[in-house]
Amino acid sequence: MRRQAAHAIRSEADRRKLAGDQRTAADKSCQHRNNNADVVHYDRALAVGWPITDGVVEDAARHFTDRFDITGSRWSVPGAEALAILRAVISNGDLDSYWNYHCAPGTYTPLPPN
């Protein structure tokens, strides 16, 4: 099953003609799955409702959330959610289109007060 997943990821990456960092991330994920196929039992984890992730996803999550861990900082839930959304938009390269949408008439939604 794990090797099938890696094959499916590579096939999809080929179909989408991924290159650069995107292709590297897909290939690293496949390599992780293949290297750990004998010790990682995704089928068992899924059967008991555990979430599935791998080292590539964990690295991305750590990079994504590092700004929340600044000494002395305090975050409200709405503020943390706003920062998480903004970091995702920037990481995906969608800041310009997000900002244009956000600034368009009728789309502004202020954060609730803390």
The 10s digit of each residue's pLDDT in 43-59 is 787 788 887 766 656 66
Assign 65 a pLDDT band (cuts: 50, 70, 90): low
What residue type is assigned to position 108 of the chain? Answer: Y
The 10s digit of each residue's pLDDT in 88-104 is 888 788 899 988 887 88
- The whole-model pTM stands at 0.42
Overall average pLDDT of the 101-113 stretch: 74
The 10s digit of each residue's pLDDT in 10-50 is 999 999 998 888 888 888 888 887 887 777 777 787 788 88
- Nearest-angstrom CA–CA distance, 1 and 37: 9
